[in-house]
A = this chain, B = another copy of it.
Amino acid sequence: MAPRGGIDLGGTKIQAVIAGPRNSVLGQARRPTPTSGGPARVVAAIVAALNDAAREGGVEVGALQRVGVGSPGTVDPETGSVSHADNLPGWSRTYPLRQRLQEKLGVPVAVGNDVSVATEAEFRLGAGRPYQSLLSVFWGTGVGGGLILGGHTWLGRGGAGEIGHMVVKRGGARCLCGRRGCMEAYAGRAAMELKARKRHAKGEKTALIKIMHERGRTRMTSGVWARALEHEDELAIRLIDRAVKALGAGIASAINLLDVEAVIIGGGLGTRLGEPYRQRIAEAMQPHLFNDQRPPDVHLAELGDLAGAVGASLLPAPPILVAA
């Protein structure tokens, strides 16, 4: 079988991999997501990233069996069009991503939801291998969730997995989605940054801003939070504690409803903070679990930053449509 391409299309970066025999990663490359120019420039950047990865893997893009893309927004699985990709600049309307990419690449392209392809990757190749049912929690800028139920991805009517918008505190903190009390309003990195900046503006001491500047960042990345925690920065500790409690309540609620075998913690913050926080999240779930004698297994994601791109490479090729 010829190698396959996989693309993880994120709000800040585009990750490309070339997957070979037994899903080994033959090549990988990363490019920043263009901040202007809309979908057309994003497509050009995807092609460039894929070319870089193919070069590293010693293969031709035109020789790939197929290319899968994990995309934010709402993906139409039949047409491969993407809408409401609000993380991507200038991409609020529906854009025919699959069609445009196929034209540029000359190979079959499949498009799936970014969180669900990463979940599928962890299920088939990562920490989820021993299980037939699991919940993945990608703890990053937002908090995304993916479900494997009875060995299959569950998408509902296409929009399942919005675990970040489960209500953990009715009437609570304002979420970036405009609602109140969502888990993401406490645990999403974007919401946490907003809160930290507000506290800082009100005169509270914190190393978060300084660390961010030292690292040449304009955003409080997962690395910035991790560093602030190492420095025992009080505000960072308090906001992370608050996030962990919200994650505990929200994930436990999902378990009370679904009773899956395992929870896989990934995402920028989940991966960066690692094992001690896996443990802390599991502990924060415990007081809210109805069957507290039999909690689910809680693991860190194993595929790390590459889960999305590797998962995208697993997407089946779309059926070939012949014009009548």
Contact = CB atoms under 8 A, between A and B. Distances in A.
A169 B168 CA distance: 5
Chain A, interface size category, equals 35 or more
A162 B292 CA distance: 12
Contact of A165 (B154, B161, B166, B256): B256
Interface in A26-79: none
A254 B257 contact: yes
B133 A167 contact: no
A246 B171 CA distance: 11
A249 B288 contact: no
A250 interface: yes
B165 A168 contact: no
Contacts of A260: 156-157
A123 to B, nearest CB: 16
A90 interface: no
Contacts of A291: 159, 162
Nearest 9 CB-CB pairs, A to B?
Answer: A156-B259, A166-B253, A160-B259, A162-B256, A165-B290, A167-B249, A162-B290, A159-B259, A165-B256
6 contacts: A159-B290, A162-B259, A165-B288, A166-B166, A167-B253, A179-B290
